[in-house]
Amino acid sequence: MITIEKIIRKKTKGKTLTKKEIDFFVNGYTKGEISDEVMTELLKAICAKGMKEGETIKLTTSMLNSGKRIDLSDIGICLDKHSSGGVSDSTTLILAPILASLGLKMVKMSGRSLGFTGGTIDKFETFSANTSLSLEEAKQIANKVGAVILCQTEDLVPADKKIYALRDRTNTVASLPLIASSIVSKKLASGAKVIVLDVKYGEGAFMDNLVEAKKLAKLMVKILRKNKVFACAVVSDMNQPLGNNIGNFMEVKEVISSLKEGKESRLLTLSKTIASLLVSMKENISLNLATKKVDASVSEGLAYEKLKEMVLAQGGNLDLFKKEKLEYISVNSETSGYIKSVKTKELGELTHELCRIKGCKGVSILKKVGDKIGLGEEIIRIYAPKKYFEMFYRKYLDCIEISKTKTNHLPLIYDILK
């Protein structure tokens, strides 16, 4: 007879679990038949001993089967992307209108807040858009506009909902099989058939080891493909904020200007790369040709027009961002040299704290790693009333490390797993 105690003993010895054993603990914990304490013991054993690829696939399937799979087939083949989370990452809000402007479909389900990184939902709601849509409402919008952004339904992979919450409380998040099964089960349940994963590597991501980040990307692509989903992955940099702004309001402003002006930036380049990979897989065309289509969508202003349409369709308003003249505090460098490193996670956390204060909108980071900086030159702009100078000035300045010797610019993409 299978018991949870036997499963824990087996995993503690580093042995491979069977499908029946995996189903036993996934279902048992989801139904409340296994306690948090006992499940934590098992999660710790998995973190310590890992899981074979076959076990991870079985775990993903078991979690997927804990809830319903969304069927989007009536609106056609849908695209999706997933980011493992980073600071100033608003790629979804850029690539969704690009894809929709090319006649493709995206029903983007997202979580609300991802702590200091903010979630796509929070960012989209900055337009005053309604994201609490039923699946039927979302499908109608996707049919008309092409793309829609909505809050993840409560019953999407119930096993992951419970297990992930426990992992978060018990320091058992950092495990490749647990992360892969958690992310992929949700992606599979969401109904998209063409997916790009953006696995972040760096100080501001939860994967701070490049080899492990690549392994995770490869594993997730493999599981998605086994489930008949067209998938590929990028491993991208999170050793500095992706965009030039942090904080939902400022990030959304950057999304608008990226699509309106098409000025190249790391944020726009990564968004266009992910969009091109999706277009290439969906249309079965070369990446080169897909990139040309994506570039044209931005340079001809089609993606910007589509963003306006998307926001309007969900009851939002792009004009909110036009009028406001923002008060700001300039943070100036106390030395000259080159930007050596950026405390990305700390910048994210600090800005999360800042944006909780009424009237504070976020920050612009005016330099990237490898850029030259002069003595007294503005390095960060804090969009907050001047009275918050003492509270934040030094903390922000301390997030940027400057060296006298020349430093290199950081790569944006470390790997693409096609």
Which residues lie near ligand URA (CB under 6 A)?
A: 84, 164, 173, 178-179, 182-183
For ligand URA, which is the closer residue by CB, 189 or 354? 189
What minimum distance in Å lies between the beta carbon of 408 and ligand URA? Answer: 29
Nearer to ligand URA, 179 or 355 (CB): 179
Of all residues in the shown chain, the one whose CB is closest to ligand URA is 182
CB of 69 to ligand URA, least distance (A): 17
Rank residues 182 and 258 by Cβ distance to ligand URA and give the closer one: 182
**Burial zone of 85 (CB within 10 Å; 0-12 exposed, 13-18 middle, 19+ buried):** buried
Residue 230 carries which DSSP code? E
Which of 179, 331 has the CB closer to ligand URA? 179
> By C-beta, is 178 or 290 nearer to ligand URA?
178
Q: Rounded to the nearest whole angstrom, what is the least distance from the CB of residue 363 to ligand URA in the complex?
A: 25
Name the helix (H) or strand (E) containing 123.
Answer: helix 120-125
Neighbours of 30 (CB within 10 A): 20
In whole angstroms, how close is the CB of 213 to ligand URA at the nearest point? 12
Q: Which tokens is 281 given? A: 């897989």
Q: How far is the CB of 374 from ligand URA (least distance, A)?
A: 40
Provide, rounded to whole angstroms, the least separation between the CB of residue 206 and ligand URA. Answer: 7
Residue positions annotated with a catalytic role: 82, 160, 167, 182, 186
Contacts 24+ apart (CB under 8 A), 399-402: 399/342, 399/343, 399/346, 399/347, 399/350, 400/333, 400/339, 400/341, 400/342, 400/343, 400/367, 401/339, 401/340, 401/341, 401/342, 401/343, 402/333, 402/335, 402/336, 402/337, 402/338, 402/339, 402/340, 402/373
Helix axes 302-313, 91-101, angle to 10 degrees: 100
* Type of residue found at 198: D
List Cβ neighbours of 342 (8 Å cut-off, separation of 6 or more): 203, 239, 240, 241, 365, 369, 399, 400, 401
**What residues are paired with 337 via a beta bridge?**
373
Q: How far apart are CA 254 and CA 118, in angstroms?
A: 15
Minimum distance, C-beta of residue 174 to ligand URA, in the bound complex (Å): 9
What token pair was written down for 27? 């279902």
Residue with Cβ nearer ligand URA (176 or 400): 176
Nearest 5°: CA angle at 400, between 214 and 200? 15
Contact (Cβ atoms closer than 8 angstroms) between residue 15 and residue 54:
no
Nearer to ligand URA, 179 or 278 (CB): 179
Give the separation between CA 146 and CA 67, rounded to whole angstroms: 26
CA distances from residue 382 to 127, 240, 373, 391 in whole angstroms, order as listed: 21, 17, 18, 11
